[in-house]
Chain A
Amino acid sequence: MKRISLAVCVGQAVPPAVRALILFSACSYLCAQGLDRATLLKQPVDAWPTYNGDYSARRFSPLTQINSTNVQNLSLLWSTRFTGSAAPAPAAGGRGGAAPAAVAIKATPLMVNGILYFSAPNNAWAVDARTGRELWHYTYPPNTGSTIGNRGLGMYGNWLYMEVPDSHLVSLDAATGKERWKVQIADPKLDYTSTAAPIVVGNHILAGIGGDHMDNRGFIQSLDPETGAVQWKWYTTPSAGEPGIETWPDAYASVHGTGQTWIPGSYDPQLNLYYFGTGNPNPVMAEQSRKGDNLYTCTIVALNPDTGKMAWYYQTSPHDTHDWDATEAPVLIDGTINGQPRKLLAQADRNGYFFLLDRTNGKHILTTPLIDTLNWSKGLNATGQPIPNPAKYPRPDGTLVSPASGGATNWPAPSFDPQTGLFYVGVNTTWSVFYQTDTDDHPEGYGGVDSGSGSEGGALLAIDYKTGKIAWRHEWPGAGGASHMLTTAGHLLFTGNGNNVVAFDPANGKILWHSSLFGSPSAGPITYMLDGKQYLLAIAGDSMYSFVVNN
């Protein structure tokens, strides 16, 4: 596979990441198997080339062949079940390891040139999108890393990128599934977990990291797509002397303050900014050794992907004590506020609030509650940040807090439909008693536990992004809350509940179609055109289900 040289003069106004994209697209005719990276700059039509379908994280498809008038004829074309290599039980002393399990696909698949690429911990597959036939299956050697999940693959030309449990980034040949190289991206002995889907921006592989059991410092890094060499690495907490260190008692607390980056972000090619959320600070539930706001944990961050320099930040949970990672998708909306066109960023946060920001500068626009039981903040400050109530910090005798540590919402992807102007997200109305178990002046690890103490149930919310008000809601009659969303220009909203994939009218919440699956939907549904036919792909546990409209 030859690559076209990028050493071509391009106007200075174009950010380098975009310049690389434009130039790389020139090789598309050579890359029959590979991903034409110009595809990444478009709305997803005949491909689903990145975790969220496109860089906006809207999970909105402009496709209309499947639509509200024919969705009742949506029927199964194929389904395939996948078996993987089982991960061994964590060795003695291993941290954060989950028990070995059957394949659980939490990855949003990529679909490029008629091939689906997806992953589970230690496993990756290529599958014919037309038939469900397995083309190759890659397995990573047994290791003791956490197998809690893998959110998917990144693709650059002919190459795939996958994080594996022992914190390596593996590059695979998309044509064969053969390993090309691997590089270590974190120290698994420090309880780093590697589950994120890498995001490809220009010639940068943006790889996040997870793990919050041992107070390990959070970061995100950019790797060279050809060699895996680190291009830059941005720590989510400051070192001594750096801005933000004033929000920690000392540098030692800061560099053990965690703030992980385990959910892929979004990207604005015009502004050349990559947006992502960071996780909770550590020690998680024993805050006595980390007084202060604890920047940049629980924060939405905008970085220049070429330099790794921060452009702005907005902290959604200053001084979090409840494990509420702010890693949920930062959804990019080109909208209108008070009659003015605005470049916006919306996030439904695990802490129970919906945030709307100006994504050019991080200025706050609005904060509204997702659920009506939030009891941990004393209100909002002048910039819309919740003010944590110290009376609701975890205590040895317990504090009753809503939501539970799992949050009002969590990692399942929301969706924004520009046709309705509504933001769709799944929520749970829950409580936990938060117990501090480490009162030492120098706590370590979690320093506490929370004990679930009740739920009023789960719901699908449709939120007007301009006001944060809930336009409609669907209460799930059984279990379920935070579920994956997909909207399409066919006036459809797809999501999952129980063992069903369900289609709603996104304007009013009316159920239009459903199909039962052999399991609970475990990853985001996607859609794409192939041979003139629109497909809906649903994922549940170890299986995939491909639907088309039968005429």
Chain B
Amino acid sequence: MRLLFFTRYTNFESNLEAVVRRLNPALFGAAFIAVMFTGSAAAQTGSGDKAAIAATPAALTASHEDPAAVARGAKLFAANCASCHGATAKGLTGKDNTDLVRSLYVLDDEKGILLTPPIRNGRPDKGMPKSNLTDAEILDVAAWLRVQSYGAGHRTTYTFLDVLTGDPKKGEEYFNGAGKCSTCHSPTGDLKGIGSRYSAQQLQGRWLSPGGGRGGRGAGAATGTPSRSQKTVAVTLPNGQTVSGPLDRIDDFTVSLHDSTGAYRSFTRNGDVPKVLVTDPMKVHTELLRTYTDADMHNVTAYLVTLK
């Protein structure tokens, strides 16, 4: 039988349950975000030597830690702890027990209850010296560490890295050539200024799948002004009459739409009766997904970003 890989501090559990976490959603300035989340350059001795990819501002906000304490803790950690635990507290390569982000000391910590003793007293058996930090400073370091763990464990707080790797010239060639984008779109028309409105990652997502994530149930149909990505449907009744308009909903048994007057209409489906024809203006985009190379994708994004 294998042993658990972390020691479990069950004796603290009842204490922890009694601790009510005080939330502090105070606003914080951009000035010290940089300090909090990149550590100091001098501390780049950890495994994260490519980039100090640490918790993001979104992680700080979502973690409800005190931003001021976290900012102080970032500086204290960089000066006092990072040489052994890495700039981002993920530990040093080859020294797995220096990883703090996955450590139960951090994951289970509340208000420094777990973290204070080892920081104050050191862990001589592990070669960790005691620190000269004050109790208040230890709490600041603990707050910063908790944000690091929170950020690693919450993918909604991640930030995108360098999305813009494509060649805008090749992207433009693809746009006007093989991609046939120019059949429907124009850099001086519908796409004018699109590079100013979205981040590169947002733009990449939007041009691949316009209206993506909003479709399926005919969002926007009720407004009477269908978007360009809105599916439409034509229902031809047995008497030959055709009712058409923005699709509201369809399954094998029911189809509903808003007709030319904006009125909601619904029909029972029984096999091929009535005849139902759905037109999806985004179909051409969906079909293109089978054809793009990643280079095409990155190049087109790089080109669209230039359309300021």
Contacts and interface: CB of A to CB of B under 8 A. Distances in A.
Interface of A: 91-93, 95-96, 187, 189-191, 213-215, 217, 232-233, 235, 239, 250, 252, 255-256, 373, 391, 395-400, 402, 431, 433, 435-446, 448-449, 451-456, 476-480, 497-500, 502, 511, 514, 516
A435 B48 contact: no
B213 A500 contact: no
B251 A441 contact: no
B230 to A, nearest CB: 14
Q: How large is the interface on B (under 10, 10 to 19, 20 to 34, 35 or more residues)?
A: 35 or more
Contacts of A455: 286
A62 to B, nearest CB: 28
Interface string B128-167: 0000000000000000001001111111001111111110
Contacts of B35: none
A455 B156 CA distance: 22
Interface in B228-283: 249-254, 276, 278
B108 interface: yes
A456 B5 CA distance: 44
A453 B64 contact: no
B169 interface: no
A476 B64 contact: no
Nearest to A239: B2
B47 A441 contact: yes
Given A233-B2, A256-B102, A452-B209, 10 more contacts: A92-B21, A93-B150, A213-B155, A214-B107, A214-B152, A233-B1, A255-B5, A400-B292, A433-B297, A479-B216
10 contacts: A95-B150, A250-B96, A391-B294, A397-B165, A399-B294, A444-B99, A448-B158, A497-B251, A497-B252, A514-B253
Contacts of A190: 6, 104, 107
B52 to A, nearest CB: 8
- Secondary structure dominating the interface of A: loop
Given A397-B166, A451-B205, A93 B63 contact: yes
B121 interface: no
B126 interface: no
Contacts of B47: 440-442
A497 B251 CA distance: 8
A478 B93 contact: no
A478 B231 CA distance: 11
Given A478-B216, A500-B251, A400 B294 contact: yes
A235 B21 contact: no
Contacts of A187: 8, 104
Nearest to B270: A511
A252 B101 CA distance: 14
B298 interface: yes
Contact of B161 (A250, A437, A444, A452): A437
Contacts of B276: 477
A498 B160 CA distance: 34
Contacts of B110: 93
Contact of B212 (A439, A453, A479): A453
Contacts, number: 181
Contacts of B75: none
A189 B160 CA distance: 27
B116 interface: no
Contacts of A454: 208-209, 212, 285-286, 289
B164 A440 contact: no
A445 B163 contact: no
Given A454-B208, A498-B251, A439 B158 contact: no
A446 B53 contact: no
B292 A511 contact: no
Contacts of B53: 437-440, 443
Given A451-B205, A452-B212, A453-B205, A444 B102 contact: yes
A439 B50 contact: yes
Interface in B70-103: 86, 88, 90-91, 93, 96, 99, 101-102
Contacts of A479: 216-217
Given A400-B294, A477-B252, A214 B153 contact: yes
Give the interface centre of B23, B108, B254, B292 by most chain A CB atoms within 10 Å: B254
A456 B286 contact: yes
Contact of B153 (A239, A445, A448, A449): A445
A477 to B, nearest CB: 5
Contacts of A437: 53, 155, 158-161
A391 B293 CA distance: 11
Contacts of A500: 251-253
B90 A478 contact: no
A96 B2 contact: no
A203 B180 CA distance: 64
Given A373-B290, A398-B298, A435-B201, A189 B108 contact: yes
Contacts of A191: 153
Contact of A400 (B2, B163, B208, B285): B208
A442 B289 contact: no
Contacts of A239: 2
A452 B213 contact: yes
B253 A398 contact: no
Contacts of A396: 160-163, 165
Given A400-B292, A453-B205, A454-B212, A446 B278 contact: no
Interface string B39-81: 0000000111111010000000001110000000000000000
Contact of A213 (B154, B205, B212, B213): B154
A446 B158 contact: yes
A435 B286 contact: no
A180 B120 CA distance: 43
A498 B49 CA distance: 50
Contacts of A214: 102, 107, 149, 152-153
A437 B146 CA distance: 20
Nearest to B233: A477
B297 A440 contact: no
